[in-house]
Structure 1
Amino acid sequence: MAYRYGNRYQIKLLPQSIEDCIASDDPVRAYDAFAEALDFRELGITLDSHKIGNSEYYPKAMLKLLVYGYSYGIRSSRKLERACHHNLSFIWLTSSLKPDHKTIAEYRRKNKEALAQVLRQCAKICIKLNLIEGNTLFVDGTKIRANASIKNTWTKEKAQKALKHIDERISDLLTQCDVIDEAEQGSLVTMDKELKDQKTLKSKIKGILQELKEEESFNTTDPDCTRIKKGKNFYGGFNFQSTVDNKKGLILSTDVVNEANDVNQFASQINKANQILGKKCKTAVADSGYASTDELEKIDKQEIKVIVPSKRQASKKELSLFAKERFTYDLKNDYYICPKGHKLIPYRLNKENNRVYKITDKKICLSCPHYGVCTKSPTGRTISRLLKEEVRQKLEAQYEEPSSQEIYKLRKQKVELPFGHIKYNLKFDSFLLRGLKGVKAEASIISTCFDLVRMITLLGVPALVKELNTC
C-alpha cells in the first residue's frame, strides 16, 4: 500500500490565509463571536483606538485569548503565550497577535472586576436565546484551593506558640551577648543581626494576632482565603458557589466566598441569580448543607418554593422512640408532652438562642422506666426548640411533597455536572489569582467556558455564531 507524503516546502500559487485554515464549524469561531457580542463598556473596559501613549494589545483579543484558553485547560500565561505562537486556532483567534506572558498576566490582573462580569453577560445572552428560563434554580458549592500554602495560615494558638518561642530565643540571645561582652571573645555583630531578625519576626506575628481578633485564621500569602478541612488535613482555599438553571443546565451566576461551609449562602446566591434574571424564580433547590432556617425563610418570604432537606431528612435515619418529634407540642399553652404524658415547660434560651424546655420535676424522669434511654441527665429530659420552629416544620413538609422529590432528584445532574467538567476535565482545582476579586474573576471565566461548551453542544457552532452575531 502506498503512503501519502506531505511537503512543507511546496509552493502554492495562491498562499492560504489563516481564515482558510479554520473550518466554518470549528468551535473557536463560537468563542470569537461570543467575545464580539459582549458589551465592553458594561464590563468596564474602555475601547478607544485614539488613546494617547504607547500602543497596547486590543482588549477584545486579550479577552478571547483568556476565555478560549480556559476552555481547554490552558490558564498559565506562559502556556497561553506559547499557544499564540504554535496553535493555529489561537493564532486565528488573536489575528496573529503574539502577546508575551507578562502582558497576558498584567491584563488579567488589571481587569479583575471586568472579567468577573463576563458570566453575567453570558447568562443574559442565554436568556435572549431562550436557553435559560429561570423557573427552577439549583444552588451548590465546591471547595477550590487558593494560591497560598496552608503553612502560611496562622491561628491564634500557632501565633501565641511562635511568640513564646521568639521570646525565649530573644532572652537566650541577650544572655549570650552578655557572656561574650564579659569574656571579650567572639563577635557581637552576628548576635545583633539575629536579635534584630527575631524582633522583626515578633513584630510581624503581633500584627498577625491583631488580624486574628475577628478571624479564626489568617493566611499571610492570601489574606482573603480561609482554612478548609479535607479529611484529616487542612488547606487554604475558597468556597466556589454556583447557581444553575433547570432548563438546559446552564450556569446562571457564580460567586466565591471565604467561608468553609454553605450554611449562610442560600439567600444571597438565589437573590443574585434573580437579579440577573430580572424576575423571581419559582423554585429554589439546594442540599442539606444550606439548611439554615433563617436563610431559607428569606427566600420563602418572597413566595419562592424552597426545596432543601434538613440534616435529619438528608441522613434518612429512622426516628428513635424518644426523639424530639415523638413529643407533642401544645402551641396554645407553649409546652411539650412526652410519650408518657408528662409536661416539659419553657426553661431558658441556649447559646444558639433556641428555647429550651425542661421536665417539670426531675423526679418524674428519674423514676420513669425509660430513664437511661430517653435521657441520662440527672436533671431530667430537656428539648430544644427553634424560635422559628413552625418555619422549619413547614419547609421540611414542603421537601417531602412528591412534586418536590421529583425536582430534587434532578439536583445532582444539574448543579454538580458543571463542577465535574470544571474540576476534572479542565483541571481547575486551584486558583491562579489571589484575593477575592481575583478568584471571582477566574470563577466567572471558567463558568462562562462551561456555558459556551453547552451552547455549542445544544445549537452547533454555525447556528450559535449566527445567533451571537444578532445579539
Structure 2
Amino acid sequence: MFKDYNMNQVILPLDLEIKLQKNDIAYTIHDLVEQIPDKAFSVFLHETGCPAYHPRMMMKVILCAYTQSVFSGRKIEALLKDSIRMMWLAQGYEPSYRTINRFRVNQEVQDLLRQCFVQFRCQLVKEELIDEEAIFIDGTKIEANANKFTFVWRKAIEKYSANLVEKSNQMYDELLANEIIPEIERESMEELTTQELEKVLEKLEETVEAYDKKIEESEDVSERKQLRSERKTPKQYRKRFKDYATRK
C-alpha cells in the first residue's frame, strides 16, 4: 500500500511557515531585519513608477541566501522558487536577479547592513551569548605590505618566532666568541629585542667598514686578499641580522 499521491487534485495553498523548524535560520533573519526602524527604509520609497519590492523583504532574502553561501543573483533568484525558507521570507514574491543585484549595489544598503550588524550584536549581548567587552580573533589571513600575494599567518608567526629567537641568540654568541663585535648591553639574556638586534647590526656595519678602510689603505696584494676573505664572515652575519631585525 502507498500513501495517497495525486498530482491532479486541487489543494489550497500551504502556509509555508509550518514547514520550517522552530530553530530555522529564517526566523533569526526575520527578527533581525524587523528590528530596523521604518525610517531607515524611507530612502527607498518612490512616489512615481511601479511599486517596488519592500526593502525589508529584499534584505531578508539576500541575508538568508548569504547564510547558505549563495551570493550569485541568479542563484538567489533560483532559491526563491525552490527554498521553503526563502519563499516564506519573500511571502511568495520572486524578484529577478537583476532586481536583486540593483538593490544590493545601492549605496543606501550599506547603511542598512551596518544597522543589521549593530542590531545583531546588541541582540547577542542582550541574550548573553557574547561578552560586550570581548574582542574576537579568527584565523583570517591578513594582507601584508603592498603585495597582495604576501600574507601573515598567525600560526606561522607563533612557530617561527621561537626559531628566530633561538637563532639570533646563537649567532650573537658566535659573534662574541669570535670577537667580531664587542658585547652590547641587554635587557634580558633570554631574547634579543628589536633595538638590540639593531645595535648588533650597527656593530657589524662598523666592523665591515673597518675592513673596507684597511683594504683601501693597503697596497699589498696578498694582504688585501686576506682582508677580503676575513671580511666575508661579518658581512654574512650583517645580512642575516638585518633579516632578523626586519622579521622581528
What TM-score, normalized to structure 1?
0.36
Please tell me the residue identity of whatever aligns with 2:33.
A
Q: In the alignment, which of 66, 73, 76 is matched to residue 69 of structure 2?
A: 73
- Among residues 89, 94, 115, which one is paired with 1:98 in the alignment? 94
Which position in structure 2 is the counterpart of 1:26?
Answer: 24
- Show the counterpart of 1:323: 171
Change (3 A) 1:339 1:130: farther
Distance 1:316 1:357, change over 3 A: closer
Name which of 29, 48, 53 aligns with 2:48: 53
Normalising by structure 2, we get a TM-score of 0.61
Q: For the structure 1 residues 77 and 48, does the alpha-carbon distance in structure 2 shift closer, same or farther, using more than 3 Å as the test? A: same
Would you say the 8 A contact 1:358–1:381 is kept in 2? no
Cα distance, 1:386–1:318 mapped onto 2, change above 3 Å: closer
Contact preservation (8 Å) 1:32, 1:64: yes
Higher helix residue share: 2
Residue 261 (str. 1) matches residue 151 (str. 2) = yes
Q: Is the 8 A contact 1:31 1:64 kept in 2?
A: yes
Question: 1:338 and 2:176 equivalent?
Answer: yes
By how many angstroms is 1:52 displaced? Answer: 1.4
Counterpart residue identity of residue 151, structure 2: N
Whole-angstrom CA distance in 2 between matches of 1:75 and 1:123: 23
Cα distance in 2 for residues equivalent to 1:107 and 1:49: 10
Higher relative contact order (CA 8 A, sep 6+): 1
Deviations 1:92-121 (A, max 9, x none): 111111111110000011145236523344
Give, in angstroms, the shift of residue 139 of structure 1.
4.6
Match of residue 128 from structure 1: 126
Instruction: Considering fraction of residues, name the structure with more strand.
Output: 1
* One-letter amino acid of the counterpart of residue 161, structure 2: R
Return the offset for 1:40: 6.7
| Counterpart pick for 1:357 among 181, 185, 202 | 202
1:12-49 CA-to-partner distances (Å, cap 9, x unmatched) read 5x7533344444443322221222124575xxx43379
Match of 1:114 in 2: 111
Across the aligned residues of Structure 1 and Structure 2, the Cα RMSD in angstroms comes to: 4.3
Find the counterpart in structure 2 of residue 271 from structure 1.
none
CA distance in 1, matches of 2:182, 2:102: 69
Q: Is the 8 A contact 1:47 1:59 kept in 2?
A: no
Gap change, CA 1:39 and 1:66, over 3 Å in 2: same
Corresponding letter in the other structure for 2:48? G
Percent of residue pairs bearing the same amino acid type: 16
In structure 2, relative to structure 1, the CA distance for the partners of 1:137 and 1:86 (3 Å cut) is closer
Structure 2 Cα separation of the partners of residues 262 and 381 of structure 1: 26
Q: Tell me, yes or no, if structure 1 residue 4 matches structure 2 residue 3.
A: yes
Q: In the aligned structure 2, how far is the partner of 1:66 from the partner of 1:108?
A: 8
Residue 312 (str. 1) matches residue 161 (str. 2): yes
Select the structure of larger CA radius of gyration.
Answer: 2
After the TM superposition, which residues 349-388 of structure 1 pair with which residues of structure 2 at under 5 Å, given as runs?
Answer: 354-355=198-199, 356-358=201-203, 376-377=232-233, 382=238
1:282-339 deviation digits (Å, cap 9, x = unpaired): xxxx5555xxxxxxxxxxxxxxxxxxx48432x5885377423x48xxxxxxxxx824
Selected match of 2:34 from 13, 33, 36? 36
Q: Deviations over 1:345-393 (max 9, x none)?
A: 7xxxxxxxx55322576799xxxxxxxxxx9436685455969xxxx7x
- Measure the CA separation in 2 of the matches of 1:80 and 1:339: 69
Query: Cα gap change, 1:378/1:339 in structure 2, threshold over 3 Å: closer, same or farther?
Result: closer
Q: How many Å apart are 1:343 and its aligned residue?
A: 0.8
Listed one character per residue, the Cα deviations across residues 383-424 of structure 1 (whole Å, up to 9, x for unaligned) are 55969xxxx7xxxxxxxxxxxxxxxxxxxxxxxxxxxxxxxx
Task: Give the Å deviation of 1:72.
Answer: 1.4
Write the mapping of 1:86-235 to structure 2, written as runs, cut at 5 A. 86-111=82-107, 113-114=110-111, 116-117=113-114, 118-133=116-131, 134-135=133-134, 137-142=136-141, 228-229=148-149
Q: Distance in 2 between the 1:323 and 1:132 partners?
A: 47
Q: Which runs of no fewer than 5 residues in structure 1 stay unpaired?
A: 145-214, 217-226, 230-259, 264-285, 290-308, 328-336, 346-353, 365-374, 393-471
Give 1:57 deviation, angstroms: 0.9
Q: What one-letter code is carried by the residue in structure 1 that aligns with 2:9?
A: Q
The alpha-carbon deviation at position 91 of structure 1 amounts to 1.3
Q: Distance in 1 between matches of 2:23 and 2:234?
A: 76
Question: Are 2:44 and 2:55, in contact at CA under 8 Å, matched by a contact in 1?
Answer: no
Change (3 A) 1:376 1:60: same
Paired residue type of 1:84: L
Distance 1:338 1:93, change over 3 A: same
Cα distance in 2, alignment partners of residues 47 and 109 from structure 1: 17
